[in-house]
Structure 1
Amino acid sequence: MVQKGRKLAKNILLLQSIIAIICTFLYAFFLGKNEGISALYGGLICIIPSAVFALLAFRYTGASKIKLVVRSFNKGNKLKFLVTIFLFVLVYRWQSLQPLPLIVTYVVTLVAQWPIIIFLNRVVR
């Protein structure tokens, strides 16, 4: 079961990365370099904390370690939230940043995880 969870998390991160890259190229192509870079940061702000969560959430396996599994999920969730805040603060320190492409790409990449999960669960069965 944990292997399935790890594989699902890896596939979600991969597909979210593809979505973020597509958004980055669209912004860069249609609106310019600064907008493309801002979109890239938005995607990274979504993907990096999700990867941190996945690493912590699927760290332990087995029914005998259920307390460790629950603890690692909680720790992963908290760390994901803190890393997200830290990354937003970090990227907003640059003056050439365009907020709209950053936020739009972040939200699109974040919201995309739900259809990706539903799709992958149907395909993997």
Structure 2
Amino acid sequence: MNLANNGKKLAKKGIVAQCISSLVLILIVLIIKPEYTVAVVLGALSFIIPHSIFAYWSFRYAGATKSKLVVQSFSKGLKLKLALTAIFFATAFSQLNAAPVPLLGAYVVAMVSQWLAMYRLRQMS
């Protein structure tokens, strides 16, 4: 039995919650302010994709015998998440001229939805 399975399942549920809340936000923005849709999509993706990669790297290894690998993998995942987030923001602002408030707002919604999902899932277990 893989010790990281519970963490992987929890991470998947959090990512699903992020995707659902981001899609709802995108649909709302598409109806109310369609000109901000691209910025909202980029903002949501700026959190979801790096965070998903971080979750993958974080739960690659588990167990006391692999403690050094767990720490290294977590560290590498965190560095990748930070670098990818910076790349997403730099691209959105410099190449696509995305509106800052909708982009950052969608980023925050994706981040907070993940926190709320983890809190809710912890309450359910």
TM-score (normalised: structure 2): 0.92
Alignment of 1:23 with 2:5, yes or no, is no
Matched with 1:100 is: 101
Matched with 2:44 is: 43
Amino acid at match of 2:32: F
Identity of aligned residues (%): 35
Distance 1:35 1:121 in 2: 34
Q: What is the aligned-residue RMSD (CA, Å)?
A: 1.1
Distance 1:115 1:14 in 2: 12
Superposed structure 1 runs of 4+ greater than 6 Å apart? none
Structure 2, unaligned stretches of length 5 or more? Answer: none
Distance 2:67 2:123 in 1: 26
The DSSP-based 3-state class of the residue aligned with 2:21 is helix
**Number of aligned positions between the proteins:** 122
Amino acid at match of 1:6: K
| Alpha-carbon distance, 1:100 to partner | 1.7
Aligned 8 A contact 1:12 1:113 in 2: yes
Matched with 1:13 is: 15
Structure 1, unaligned stretches of length 5 or more? Answer: none
Matched with 1:57 is: 58
TM-score (normalised: structure 1): 0.92
Aligned 8 A contact 1:28 1:37 in 2: no
Distance 1:94 1:87 in 2: 11
Amino acid at match of 2:53: V
Distance 1:90 1:98 in 2: 12
Distance 1:25 1:40 in 2: 10
Distance 1:87 1:37 in 2: 13
Distance 1:40 1:18 in 2: 12
Amino acid at match of 1:74: S
Distance 2:23 2:103 in 1: 12
| Alpha-carbon distance, 1:61 to partner | 2.2
Higher relative contact order (CA 8 A, sep 6+): 2
